[in-house]
């Protein structure tokens, strides 16, 4: 027994020496890519698409192993990553909007701190709001006619991905009655197809794959997209949906002016976190600077690769993946909620949905 | 039609067949190991999927998904461990059959039913998928709510002698099912500030706790082999196949029902086995053997669960909304292969759709045939003295539970549910009623509020709602009437035999009291929350509290009949379980497995040093291989780092 432990100790010591030698400046041979969601979900599929590509562009082509750790709408897995991730670059994590929102809303289960991590890649997405054709409108120009009708929206919950959409619809003056408890956005779309929900929202890839057909057959009418942010920080039409007006345009056609004010600021905040930074890969910030640099260089090469670009466009839409040191700054900005904003969103959630933060 | 056969042609190619076979073999392995199921198998295959030819990749995935409900029958029948949530009803009669020494019969019957169920499911799928879209869309939240009620009404027939015990157990299941986020508002209920409870307790943990652990404990107390009667292994195999042939109408009905329920997204496969189980029970003239080793109780759920996994492909393929857990994983695989599910699957990708269906049918046949082949050697396990098997089974159960969320909470929740399970088993309370309540809790609440919010109160008059409502009423009132008519023809003796229900009165009052206390605590907790959050838990509390009170009142009325039950030993073992769970977690899973197995078999089972060491080493190697191949994690604790270091060296 004692002997066994001796051998084991020796081996551990030997291993730690070899890893210490190897860890001076290279990315380790095996990378554990934590995905705080289940197998087969949106984030998992995205990660499995990214993983082999990422491996191709890192020096020495390390093996990227996907570790699914679902629970708590991704909070559980992200907390675990925060407490356990090695600082030699062998642990990275992929997050989604449902990881960032609880962080911004101060969910008490959140024990991770995004300041300790460096984002290396952010995949954005867009999204479209669409309605049933029997509401007396024929295209998105008629959006003002929606304002005096009750619209039922099948949603996952008040603080889920739909949060910015709920804020936007309230801002524009629509009388939206959300029905919560949908298991996924897909379940919400099913409720729309059954005719139970009269208004619905899908992110770009789901819209292209599942809703475009409905639109073509006259079973759905697109109202507005959330648009994308250009280099100057303005919202412009989504390149995936150039014919669909943005929320800002829709607002203007109803109210005759651009949206502004606190509610709009909060909307933009959650829009940025939920959509511009929909999927993010983080590396713990305390990895050796050479390792971080290697990661950054690898993703830069990856997103410039024509084959990757084409495949990514098919998977998630024609969006530019954000890379480099800049995203750290933008992301830090996007998830920062001022006390005024926090108290506004808290009051709004309470008065709209009787939900207490 | 030509598409149908060109797809068959493709499926029969060597390339396709060999990948399909690979999928089947992996599916069987992960199916046999409790707690893993389709999801673990997928994580094994997904790295290879990316970049594969679509039809070959689909065949491989399909092979895997199709046979998981076949493979999980082994542990359900042989050890009483529901291998996955779709084989929980199989435990009810499969395990008693194994105890009677008829494991091979139960298994071969199960596998043949699975095979037929899977093929029937595939046939239904191939026709139905062309016209299914409007049918699936016809099931709105209101109809889904009624279907959950239909599921709950099954409790009546599973309650055995006492209706109130059944209702109380069901209420307890419903209430435990409400732990976590309220679907209609997002508020959290009954979390007691424990992170683990925010997501609710995982189904696999509840299934293991309520069935598997109490069974192990009672077997340990007896300390014999699982099979207590003579050796009839040789005859069993053929007998099982004959049993299925005798019950072909039952197999057909269960398969059709299973594939239809699977086709409706949102209900989940975990209830279909219980529903068909109770239908089988309702349709039988002699119900006395159900729960004690009635072969029909194995045949019905096993036909249904394979058919159900075929049916669940309909919403997955047509709408991109998975009909079950493994279908969700299959959906992910499709996306990785670059195939977008949706209407286009029938309009432009019909060939691929038929490839899926053919692969499904073929995988079911291959999987069941392989299992039947394995039945005889694996059934031998039931003749081993139980105290040697016990540490292996305990490790498997902990392993399975830990895969649910990979936290210490899984062990604790398992222990608490097992405590309820031991109580209920000792006093003959219907444990399936508890499980059905738990499974349907979330659906019932969610669809009820959704249908009210979408349709207000007009949903009562929807035709689908009325039809399902009529079905429920038939199910509740026809069997008792039927039974009454039958009883007139019975002899006096049979009536007497039927009426001596064995009850355990002094324990009943303890359980009812405990349940009443739970009802009060939970009711107090949720009282004062907004209506949408509190209404459903309060209904469960009322059901639980009211029925428990009735049990107590009945008990006080029949005070003379009091018998005492032996429960103390069971409680000691539960306490032992908690100690072990802490050791497994704190010292390290691998280390504890090794030493516990070694010491337990050496001292408790009084086996020789060679035997105990080889079992312990074998188990350790198994866990290490699993960890390596399937990227399964174990609690590392204090000592596992060393074990892993040594393992890595080798």
Q: Searching chain A, which residue's CA lies closest to the CA of residue B529?
A: A354
Is the torsion defined by CA of B578, B582, B587, B591 positive or negative? Answer: positive
* Closest to A153 (Cα-Cα) out of A127, A129, A125: A129
Length, in residues, of chain A: 357
**Segment A88-110 mean pLDDT:** 92
Tokens of B154: 């099954």
Query: Which pLDDT value is given to residue B504?
Result: 57
pLDDT of B171 higher than 80: yes
A–B interface: beta-carbon pairs under 8 A: 142
- Dihedral-angle region of residue A83 (phi above 0 means left; psi in -120 to 50 means alpha; beta otherwise): alpha
Q: What are the pLDDT digits (tens) for B114-162? A: 999 999 999 998 888 888 888 888 888 898 899 888 888 888 777 766 7
* Closest to A27 (Cα-Cα) out of A287, A331, A326, A346: A287
Query: Which pLDDT value is given to residue B485?
Result: 67
Domain spans, chain B: 2-561, 588-649
Rounded Cα gap, residues B509 and B306, in angstroms: 40
Query: Which pLDDT value is given to residue B466?
Result: 92
**Segment B579-603 mean pLDDT:** 92
Rounded Cα gap, residues A355 and A105, in angstroms: 12
pLDDT band per the 50, 70, 90 thresholds, residue B483: low
Is the torsion defined by CA of B585, B587, B590, B591 positive or negative? Answer: negative
Query: Which pLDDT value is given to residue A130?
Result: 96
DSSP A3-32: HHHHHHHHHHHHHHHHHHHHTTTS--SEEE
- DSSP H helical segments within A23-161, as ranges? 42-57, 75-84, 97-104
Q: Searching chain A, which residue's CA lies closest to the CA of residue B200?
A: A72
Q: Searching chain B, which residue's CA lies closest to the CA of residue A110?
A: B195
**Segment A35-59 mean pLDDT:** 87
Q: Searching chain A, which residue's CA lies closest to the CA of residue B199?
A: A72
Q: Which range, of B364-373, B393-402, B485-494, averages the lowest pLDDT?
A: B485-494
pLDDT of B54 higher than 70: yes
pLDDT band per the 50, 70, 90 thresholds, residue A205: confident
Min Cα separation A152/chain B (Å): 7
Q: CA of B615: how far to CAs of A189, B32, B604, B607, in Å?
A: 52, 19, 14, 11
* Closest to A185 (Cα-Cα) out of B322, B38, B455: B322
Write out chain B residues lying below 8 Å of A70, CB-based.
Answer: 405
* Closest to B510 (Cα-Cα) out of B437, B560, B577, B562: B562
pLDDT of A92 higher than 80: yes
Tokens of B489: 């023809």
pLDDT band per the 50, 70, 90 thresholds, residue A19: very low
- Facing B137 at nearest CB: one of A68, A152, A194: A194
Tokens of B536: 């459903």
Q: What are the pLDDT digits (tens) for A309-319? A: 888 888 778 88
pLDDT of B506 higher than 90: no
- Run of H or E including A281: strand A279-284
Write out chain B residues lying below 8 Å of A154, CB-based.
Answer: 450
First-last CA distance in chain B: 55
Q: What are the pLDDT digits (tens) for B335-344? A: 878 787 877 7
Write out chain B residues lying below 8 Å of A7, CB-based.
Answer: 646
Is the torsion defined by CA of A75, A77, A82, A87 positive or negative? Answer: negative
* Yes or no, beta carbons of B42 and A40 under 8 Å apart: yes
Look up the CATH architecture of domain A127-273.
Answer: 3-Layer(aba) Sandwich (3.40)
- Let me know if B457 is exposed, middle or buried by CB neighbors in 10 A (0-12, 13-18, 19+): exposed
Within 10 A of B577 (CB to CB), how many other CB atoms are there?
Answer: 23
Q: What are the pLDDT digits (tens) for B409-424? A: 999 999 999 999 999 9
pLDDT of B39 higher than 70: no
Best residue of B330, B332, B445, B632 to probe chain A, by most A CBs closer than 10 Å = B332
* Yes or no, beta carbons of A355 and B186 under 8 Å apart: yes
Query: Which pLDDT value is given to residue A31?
Result: 92
Q: What are the pLDDT digits (tens) for B514-538? A: 999 999 999 999 988 888 899 999 9
Among the four given CATH numbers 3.40.190.150, 3.40.50.300, 3.40.50.2300, 3.40.47.10, the one describing domain A2-124+277-336: 3.40.190.150
Question: Please, which residues bridge with residue A283 across strands?
Answer: A118
Write out chain A residues lying below 8 Å of B181, CB-based.
Answer: 157
Q: Any chain A CB within 8 A of the CB of B464?
A: no
Q: Which range, of A85-94, A126-135, B6-15, averages the lowest pLDDT?
A: B6-15
Query: Is residue A271 within 8 Å of residue A164, measured between CB atoms?
Result: yes
* Yes or no, beta carbons of A40 and B330 under 8 Å apart: yes
* Yes or no, beta carbons of B454 and A197 under 8 Å apart: yes
Query: Is residue A197 within 8 Å of residue A188, measured between CB atoms?
Result: yes
Give residue for tokens 């019950």.
B247
DSSP B171-185: HHHHHHHT-EE-TTT
- Do A2-124+277-336 and A127-273 fold alike per CATH? yes
pLDDT band per the 50, 70, 90 thresholds, residue B490: low
Contacts of B33 (CB under 8 A, 6+ apart): B75, B83, B396, B399, B400, B626
Q: Any chain A CB within 8 A of the CB of B646?
A: yes
Write out chain B residues lying below 8 Å of A200, CB-based.
Answer: none
* Yes or no, beta carbons of A12 and B645 under 8 Å apart: yes
Rounded Cα gap, residues B181 and B197, in angstroms: 9
- Strands A30-35 and B188-189 come out as unpaired
* Yes or no, beta carbons of B195 and A180 under 8 Å apart: no
* Yes or no, beta carbons of B50 and A194 under 8 Å apart: no
Query: Which pLDDT value is given to residue B161?
Result: 67
Query: Which pLDDT value is given to residue A11?
Result: 46
Q: Any chain A CB within 8 A of the CB of B333?
A: yes
Q: How confident is the prediction for chain B on average, in pLDDT? A: 84
Query: Which pLDDT value is given to residue B457?
Result: 80
Rounded Cα gap, residues B360 and B411, in angstroms: 35
Min Cα separation A160/chain B (Å): 10
Domain spans, chain A: 2-124+277-336, 127-273
Question: Could you tell me how far CA B90 lies from the centroid of its own chain?
Answer: 8
Which has more pLDDT, B389 or A167? Answer: A167
* Closest to B302 (Cα-Cα) out of B135, B541, B6, B72: B72
* Yes or no, beta carbons of A157 and B39 under 8 Å apart: no
Quickly count helices (H) and strands (E) in chain B: 30, 2
Query: Which pLDDT value is given to residue A22?
Result: 46
Query: Is A65 strand, coil or helix?
Result: strand
Q: What are the pLDDT digits (tens) for A122-181? A: 999 999 999 999 988 888 888 988 888 999 999 999 999 999 999 999 999 999 999 998
Query: Which pLDDT value is given to residue B233?
Result: 52
Q: CA of B546: how far to CAs of B59, B504, B515, in Å?
A: 52, 20, 10
- Strands A150-154 and A175-179 come out as parallel
């Amino acid at each position: 027994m004692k002997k066994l432990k001796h051998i084991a100790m020796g081996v551990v010591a030997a291993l730690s020496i070899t890893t210490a030698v190897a860890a001076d400046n290279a990315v380790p041979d095996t990378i554990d890519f934590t995905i705080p969601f289940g197998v087969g979900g949106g984030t998992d599929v995205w990660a499995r698409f990214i993983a082999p590509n990422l491996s191709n562009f890192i020096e020495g082509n390390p093996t990227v192993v996907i570790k699914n750790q679902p629970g708590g709408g991704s909070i559980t897995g992200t907390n675990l990553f925060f407490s356990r991730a090695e600082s030699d670059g062998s642990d990275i994590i992929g997050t989604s909007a449902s990881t960032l929102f609880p962080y911004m809303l101060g969910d008490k289960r959140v024990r991770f701190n995004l300041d300790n991590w460096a984002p290396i890649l952010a995949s954005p997405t867009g999204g479209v709001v669409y309605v049933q054709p029997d509401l007396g409108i024929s295209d998105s120009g008629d959006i003002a006619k929606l304002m005096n009708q009750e619209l039922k929206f099948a949603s996952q919950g008040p603080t889920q991905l739909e949060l910015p959409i709920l804020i936007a619809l309230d801002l524009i003056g629509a009388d939206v009655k959300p029905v919560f408890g949908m298991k996924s956005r897909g379940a919400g779309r099913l409720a729309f197809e059954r005719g139970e929900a009269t208004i619905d929202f899908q992110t770009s890839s789901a819209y292209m794959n599942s809703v475009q057909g409905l639109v073509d057959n006259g079973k759905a009418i697109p109202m507005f997209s959330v648009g994308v942010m250009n280099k100057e920080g303005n919202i412009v039409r989504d390149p995936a949906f150039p014919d669909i007006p943005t929320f800002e345009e829709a607002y203007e056609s109803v109210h005759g002016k651009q949206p502004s004010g606190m509610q709009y600021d909060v909307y933009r905040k959650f829009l940025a976190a939920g959509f511009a930074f929909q999927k993010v890969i983080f590396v713990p910030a305390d990895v050796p600077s050479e390792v971080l640099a290697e990661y950054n260089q690898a993703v830069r090469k990856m997103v410039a690769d024509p084959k990757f670009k084409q495949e990514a466009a098919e998977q998630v839409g024609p969006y530019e993946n954000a890379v480099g040191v800049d995203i750290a700054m933008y992301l830090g900005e996007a998830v920062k909620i001022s006390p005024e904003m926090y108290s506004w969103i808290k009051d709004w959630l309470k008065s709209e949905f009787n939900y207490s933060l | 039609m030509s598409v149908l056969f060109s797809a068959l042609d493709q499926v029969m190619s060597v390339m396709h067949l060999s990948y399909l076979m690979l999928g089947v073999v992996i599916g069987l392995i992960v199916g046999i190991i409790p707690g893993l199921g389709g999801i673990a198998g997928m994580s094994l295959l997904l790295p290879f999927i990316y970049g594969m030819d679509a039809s070959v990749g689909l065949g491989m995935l399909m092979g895997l998904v199709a046979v998981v409900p076949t493979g999980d029958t082994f542990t359900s029948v042989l050890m009483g461990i529901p291998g996955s949530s779709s084989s929980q009803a199989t435990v009810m009669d499969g395990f008693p059959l194994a105890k009677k020494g008829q494991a091979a019969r139960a298994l071969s019957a199960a596998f043949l039913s699975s095979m037929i169920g899977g093929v029937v499911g595939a046939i239904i799928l191939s026709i139905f998928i062309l016209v299914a879209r409007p049918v699936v869309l016809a099931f709105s939240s209101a109809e889904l709510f009624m279907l959950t009620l239909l599921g709950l009404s099954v409790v009546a027939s599973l309650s055995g002698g006492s209706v109130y015990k059944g209702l109380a157990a069901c209420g307890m299941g419903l209430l435990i099912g409400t732990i976590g986020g309220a679907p209609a508002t997002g508020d959290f209920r009954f979390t007691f500030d424990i992170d683990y409870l925010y997501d609710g307790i995982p189904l696999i943990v509840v299934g293991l706790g309520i069935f598997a652990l109490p069974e192990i404990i009672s077997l340990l107390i007896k300390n014999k082999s699982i099979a207590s009667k003579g050796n009839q292994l040789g005859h069993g195999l053929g007998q099982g196949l004959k049993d299925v042939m005798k019950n072909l109408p039952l197999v057909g009905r269960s398969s059709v029902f299973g594939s239809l329920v699977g086709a409706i997204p949102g209900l989940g496969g975990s209830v279909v086995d219980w529903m068909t189980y109770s239908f089988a029970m309702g349709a039988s003239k002699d119900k006395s053997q159900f729960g004690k080793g009635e072969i029909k109780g194995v045949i019905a759920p096993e036909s249904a669960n394979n058919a159900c996994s075929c049916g669940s492909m309909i919403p997955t393929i047509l709408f991109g909304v998975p009909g079950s857990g493994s279908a969700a994983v299959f959906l992910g695989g499709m996306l990785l292969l670059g195939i977008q599910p949706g209407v286009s699957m029938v309009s432009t990708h019909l060939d691929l759709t038929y490839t899926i269906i053919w692969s499904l049918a073929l995988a079911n046949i291959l999987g069941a045939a392989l299992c039947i082949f394995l039945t005889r050697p694996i059934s031998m396990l039931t003749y081993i003295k139980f105290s040697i098997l016990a540490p292996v089974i305990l490790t498997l159960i902990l392993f399975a539970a830990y895969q649910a969320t990979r936290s210490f909470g899984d062990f604790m929740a398992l222990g608490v549910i097992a405590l309820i399970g031991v109580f209920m088993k000792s006093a003959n309370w219907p444990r399936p009623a508890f499980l059905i309540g738990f499974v349907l809790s979330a659906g019932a609440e969610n669809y009820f509020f959704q249908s009210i919010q979408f349709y207000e109160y007009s949903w009562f008059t929807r035709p689908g709602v009325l039809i399902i409502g009529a079905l429920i009423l038939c199910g509740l009132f026809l069997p008792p009437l039927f039974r009454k008519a039958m009883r007139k023809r019975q002899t006096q003796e049979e009536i007497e035999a039927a009426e001596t229900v064995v009850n355990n009165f002094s324990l009943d009052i303890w359980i009812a009291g405990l349940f009443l206390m739970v009802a009060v605590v939970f009711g107090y907790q949720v009282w004062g929350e907004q209506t949408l959050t509190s209404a459903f838990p309060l209904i469960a509390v009322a059901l639980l509290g009211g029925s428990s009170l009735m049990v107590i009142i009945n008990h006080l009325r029949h005070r003379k009949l009091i018998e005492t039950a032996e429960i103390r030993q069971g409680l000691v073992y539960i306490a032992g379980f908690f100690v072990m769970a802490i050791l497994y977690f704190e010292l390290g899973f691998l280390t504890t497995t090794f030493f516990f197995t070694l010491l337990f078999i050496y001292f408790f089972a009084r086996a020789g040093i060679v035997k105990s060491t080889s079992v312990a080493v074998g188990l350790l190697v198994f866990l290490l291989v699993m960890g390596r191949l399937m990227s399964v994690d174990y609690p590392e604790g204090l000592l596992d780092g060393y074990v892993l270091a040594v393992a890595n060296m080798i």
